[in-house]
Amino acid sequence: MVAAMDISIRKAERSKLQDLSLDNLPFGRYFSDHMLEADYEDGEWKNIEIKPYQPLLLSPSLAALHYGQAIFEGIKAYKDRNGAPFIFRPQDNYRRFNVSAERMQMPTVPEELFMEGMRRLLELDQNWIPSKEDHSLYIRPFMFSSDELIGVRPSDNYKFMIILSPTGPYYAAPMRIYVEEKYVRAAPGGVGYAKAAGNYGAAMLPTAEAKGKGYDQVLWMDAVEHKYVQECGTMNVFFIIGNTAITPDLDQGTILDGVTRQSAITLLKEMGLTIEERSLGIDEIIEAYKSGQLFEVFGTGTAATISLIRELRYKDFVMEFDVDNWKTAPTIKKWLTDIREGRREDKYNWMWKI
Ligand code: COI
């Protein structure tokens, strides 16, 4: 429950925008002038505040720091051709946020707090939305347990926050991917479908090892047989074999239900491809590659949008792709960007006006 959707707003005295150019920004390094903060106490959300972006004062015994009860979302805001601000499919992220909250035994966040809080924050910091193509304002809602107690149990207190970061493309160039066989990202019954902070922390060692071998990211395989494709780095993944786009299904709860994944499925259907959401084994991928039927491989994610994969390495077998001649992934990437930036009709009503 929200006590009352009273959002107190305290404005920054001076905008940091004066010191920053919104062109060519790295991902996630700069933050806008304001942030939203709310506290869950005594079973309700209170102290809802938009205030100047600033550090938090936290106790060293803060539960989230010890046991990782922390979740987040990634959403993007754009400007259309007339400079009007829009957010891409925020209700889908809102729904997924509460799915993650439930899995992590955290309170759900009411729609009004999430959506209206985000809208008001964006209204205030809309000048931070870059206009340059492929740039956007990345919205990061997150929640963490805030009891000052190192006993292992769900907290009584939580903090929900939203911060904003103007950003350019996440993976600028087509990627080289290492098929990971030793480490796993998620197992059935685990938290793979939740956007839990620990999923990302646990991926850092495998990713660093793949980088050490010269790759950009790993392709995660299933935890049981190490044979079936799951996700790619922080993204969902698609394989175009013949006229079919295949992406792993969500049935086992090991894969994030990506908003960009859903959008890509819709656009691929519009392009006339058949879509299969099912398990896809590495043997089938290699066979399709050898017979010349594996045409494209790409990742989808909020931060990355659509990222082309130019090389896949499984054990000693290397699959290379001529991404410059691809049609499908570049087309849906362009369609998505054009919808987001107001150059293509938003016929699925994905853009939410601020
Ligand atoms: C996103 O695409 O929003 C992600 O969650 C990836 C990321 C952790 C930067």
How many whole angstroms from 291 Cα to the centroid of ligand 1? 34
**Does 301 contact ligand 1 (Cβ within 6 A)?**
yes
Angle at 300 between CA 76 and CA 110, to 5 degrees: 45
Atom of ligand 1 nearest to the CA of 258: 2
d(CA 221, CA 184): 7
3-class DSSP string for the chain: CECCCCCEECCCCCCHHHHCCCCCCCCCCCCCCEEEEEEEECCEEEEEEEEECCCCCCCCCEHHHHHCCEEECCEEEEECCCCCEEEECHHHHHHHHHHHHHHCCCCCCCHHHHHHHHHHHHHHCHHHCCCCCCCEEEEEEEEEECCECCCCCCCCCEEEEEEEEEECCCCCCCEEEEECCCCCCCCCCCCCCCCEHHHHHCCHHHHHHHHHCCCCEEEEECCCCCCEEEEECCEEEEEEECCEEEECCCCCCCCCCCHHHHHHHHHHHHCCCEEEECCCEHHHHHHHHHCCCEEEEEEEECCCEEEEEEEEEECCEEEECCHHHCCHHHHHHHHHHHHHCCCCCCCCCCEEEC
Predicted confidence (pLDDT) per residue in 117-145, tens digit? 999 999 999 999 999 888 999 999 999 99
Q: Residue type at 241? A: I
Rg of the chain over Cα atoms, rounded to whole angstroms, equals: 21
d(CA 137, CA 267): 23
Supply the residue whose CA is at minimum distance from atom 8 of ligand 1. 234
**Does 74 contact ligand 1 (Cβ within 6 A)?**
yes
Contact indicator for 131, 50 with CB cutoff of 8 Å: no
Return the bridge partners of 44, or none: 41
How many whole angstroms from 15 Cα to the centroid of ligand 1? 26
Instruction: State the average pLDDT over residues 107-122.
Output: 97
How many whole angstroms from 344 Cα to the centroid of ligand 1? 25
Predicted confidence (pLDDT) per residue in 76-98, tens digit? 999 998 999 999 999 999 999 99
3: pLDDT strictly greater than 60: no
> CB-based contacts of 28: which residues, under 8 Å, 6+ apart?
138, 165, 167
Contact indicator for 37, 47 with CB cutoff of 8 Å: yes
How many whole angstroms from 5 Cα to the centroid of ligand 1? 29
pLDDT number for residue 123: 97
Mutate to test the pocket of ligand 1, among 302, 305, 306, 336 (most ligand atoms within 8 A of CB): 302
Query: Which of 69, 308, 328, 294 has the alpha carbon at shortest distance from 197?
Result: 69
How many whole angstroms from 293 Cα to the centroid of ligand 1? 30
Q: Using 50, 70 and 90 to split pLDDT, how confident is the model at 1?
A: very low
How many whole angstroms from 234 Cα to the centroid of ligand 1? 6
- Mean of the per-residue pLDDT values for the chain? 96
Please tell me which residue, 4 or 11, carries the higher pLDDT value. Answer: 11
**Does 234 contact ligand 1 (Cβ within 6 A)?**
yes
How many whole angstroms from 255 Cα to the centroid of ligand 1? 14
Supply the residue whose CA is at minimum distance from atom 3 of ligand 1. 74
Q: Using 50, 70 and 90 to split pLDDT, how confident is the model at 24?
A: confident
Atom of ligand 1 nearest to the CA of 260: 2
**Does 200 contact ligand 1 (Cβ within 6 A)?**
yes
Supply the residue whose CA is at minimum distance from atom 5 of ligand 1. 74
Atom of ligand 1 nearest to the CA of 72: 5
296: pLDDT strictly greater than 90: yes
Least confident of 20-24, 154-158, 160-164, 199-203: 20-24
Predicted confidence (pLDDT) per residue in 225-270, tens digit? 999 999 999 999 999 999 999 999 999 999 999 999 999 999 999 9
**Does 303 contact ligand 1 (Cβ within 6 A)?**
yes
Mutate to test the pocket of ligand 1, among 72, 220, 234 (most ligand atoms within 8 A of CB): 234
**Does 199 contact ligand 1 (Cβ within 6 A)?**
no
